[in-house]
Amino acid sequence: MKRSTSPSTSPSRARRQARLWLGAVGVATAATLATIPTASAATRPAPSVAHPATTPGSPNLSGAYTLSTGGQALEDPDWSFSGGVQLDTYALTGGNNQQWVLLPQTDGSYLIMNWSSSMCAVPVSTASGAAVVQTQCVGGAAQEWVFAQQVTGSYTITSMSSGQVLTTASSSNFAAVTQQVNTGAPLQQWLIKPAGPAVSGSHSLTTGGKALEDPNSSSAAGTALDTSSTNGGANQSWQFLPLPDGSDLLVNNASGLCADVSGGTSNQGATVDQWACVGSTNQRWSFSQLASGLYNISSARSGLLLTTASGADGSLVTQQGNRSLATQQWTIG
């Protein structure tokens, strides 16, 4: 029976609890689940470390997508917000629990974040047959996946930590998703179709003729952003990564890191730095166009505005309350 696309009319979660918690591979031990990284609001993860080069043919993906195989879509079952719930595949419904935001990492891999739960896909271990569950997005090899396009146009999706590929058990509804050795089987081949807004590409962000930048093209996470005279460099170019909620991640084209409110704080005056892209609300930015055609850019977490300190080169960028200042009004180039 086809399900509704809204959580309120989805099947009873209790009726499927045994299957959701690790399905075909059995119940995971608490010790195994404890190895999956977690983070508190006060603690940010370290950025991703370097990994071997990605598979030739790995695409430049960004945005929101449905991932399907055998006519069935990868999903967060029953719109669950619980960590540790095993992912499954189900007939395409158009629900946001079947939409996935691909968050680019500096090594060419991606985090796979569910739009509904805002949690990321991760195998519970490196073993063949390990269940793929959702848990809080923190980055690192355990949550990173490499997409390699095949001659058919479909993709294999390989775990960076295990080298095994995302696999569904069957083409039936509620099929459990695991990682398996790549055999080239059809249920290891995934079609990727846009589910959210179109990718808007790379842009500069300027205020008073000064560009938001990663100073000195630093590749270090935690580097405070500033504004300086425009130079046309990659460190002043930002990839807009639209999310289905209408906000954007801003990925610097020199460092591959995201504009980020330091520490995830909602305090006025907090530094805006760059950090590994994990899709948290302190990395999401909303654009509001003013009558002048310029934009206020607000943090999705705090609601405060992206603000530069002055019109001088090297001025630090922070989040501040809206005071209608010229240094809070931006041009998208």
The pLDDT tens digits of the residues spanning 54-101 come to: 333 445 676 678 999 998 999 999 999 999 999 999 998 777 789 898
- The span from the CA of 116 to the CA of 175, in Å, is 19
pLDDT for 157: 98
Going by C-alpha positions, the residue among 211, 244, 316 that lies closest to residue 62 is 244
> How far, CA to CA in Å, does 141 sit from each of 111, 167, 218?
9, 18, 22
Architecture of domain 13-22+61-194: Trefoil (2.80)
Tell me where in the chain the CATH 2.80.10.50 domain(s) lie: 13-22+61-194, 201-332
Give the CB-side neighbour count of residue 242, counting CA atoms within 13 A: 14
Distance CA 96, CA 174 (A): 17
Residues 6+ apart with CB under 8 A from 88: 19, 20, 23, 74, 75, 77, 168, 174, 175, 176, 177
Write the class of the CATH domain 201-332. mainly beta
DSSP 88-124: EEEE----GGG-EEEEE-TTS-EEEEETTT-EEEEES
**Nearest alpha carbon to residue 326 among 57, 18, 258, 315:** 315
Q: What pLDDT does 289 receive? A: 78
* pLDDT number for residue 244: 72
Q: What is the pLDDT of residue 92?
A: 83
Q: Which residues of the chain have pLDDT under 70?
A: 1-60, 62-63, 195-200
CA gap 247, 333 in Å, rounded: 18
Reported pTM: 0.63
For residue 283, the model assigns a pLDDT of 96
Report the pLDDT value the prediction gives residue 62, as an integer from 0 to 100. Answer: 62
- Three-class SS of residue 273? strand
- Give me the sign of the Cα torsion angle 131, 137, 143, 149: positive
Task: Please give the pLDDT value at position 59.
Answer: 57
